[in-house]
């Protein structure tokens, strides 16, 4: 597996430090009714480090979105699993691994806004600097990266590499 790794972009320590900083910012900014929604599968590792640093009561749930594209881009989006908790009048934070074209997060933001939450914010670990196809902006960003394909810390290529504790370029 590791023979395809070209370069480590962020070490395990850098990632947990960033999750701690973002969790502290969310603690400062949000009200007392936080619902953290992870986008499966890529956000699972980031979400687990992030929520350890949100010093408020929070409800955690997940969505699964599938896209009819290849594994590197998103095509037509379909919500495969929705949240099962009520978000009316709650501060929702969508947690994503990476914001690329913005299609996935724009789709999810719209979906949640229909459920009458108090607010919907986006927290993404990585934000690609490339021009977005959709108008969606993250409220919390871990790192801005160049237009590279990265894996690890939840992110996959063909379902592999999610378990790496660091983020790397393949």
**Catalytic residue annotation:** 100
Binding mask 106-125 for ligand IMP (x = CB under 6 A): --------------------
From 10-18, 22-30, 81-89, 97-105, give the range in contact with ligand IMP by CB under 6 A: 97-105
Window 62 to 91, contacts with ligand IMP (CB under 6 A): 74
Q: Is 132 left (phi over 0), alpha (psi -120 to 50) or beta?
A: beta
- Using the rule CB under 6 A, is 42 a contact of ligand IMP? yes
Q: Are 35 and 61 in contact (CB under 8 A)?
A: yes
Shortest distance in whole angstroms from residue 133 CB to Mg ion:
16
Burial annotation 23-57 (CB, 10 A radius, 16+ → b, else e): beebeeebeebbbbbbbeebbbbbbebbbebbeee
The residue (of 86 and 146) whose beta carbon lies closer to ligand IMP is 146
The residue (of 118 and 134) whose beta carbon lies closer to ligand IMP is 134
Strand 7-10's sheet: what is its strand order?
7-10, 167-169, 150-151
For ligand IMP, the binding residues (CB under 6 A) are: 42, 74, 96-104, 149-151, 155
């Amino acid at each position: 597996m590791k023979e395809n790794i070209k370069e480590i972009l962020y070490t395990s320590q850098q990632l947990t430090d960033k999750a701690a900083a973002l969790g502290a910012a969310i603690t400062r900014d949000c009200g007392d009714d936080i619902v953290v929604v992870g986008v499966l599968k890529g956000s699972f590792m980031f979400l687990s480090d992030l929520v350890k640093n949100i010093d408020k009561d929070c409800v955690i749930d997940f969505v699964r979105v599938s896209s009819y594209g290849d594994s590197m881009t998103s095509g037509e989006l379909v919500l495969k699993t929705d949240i099962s908790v009520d978000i009316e009048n709650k501060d929702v934070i969508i947690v994503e691994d990476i914001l690329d074209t913005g299609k996935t997060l724009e789709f999810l933001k719209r979906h949640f806004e229909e459920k009458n939450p108090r607010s919907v914010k986006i927290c993404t670990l990585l934000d690609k600097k490339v021009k977005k196809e959709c108008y969606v902006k993250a409220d919390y960003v871990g790192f801005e990266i160049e237009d590279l394909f990265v894996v690890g810390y939840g992110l996959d290529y063909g379902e592999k590499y999610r378990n790496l504790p660091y983020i790397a370029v393949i």
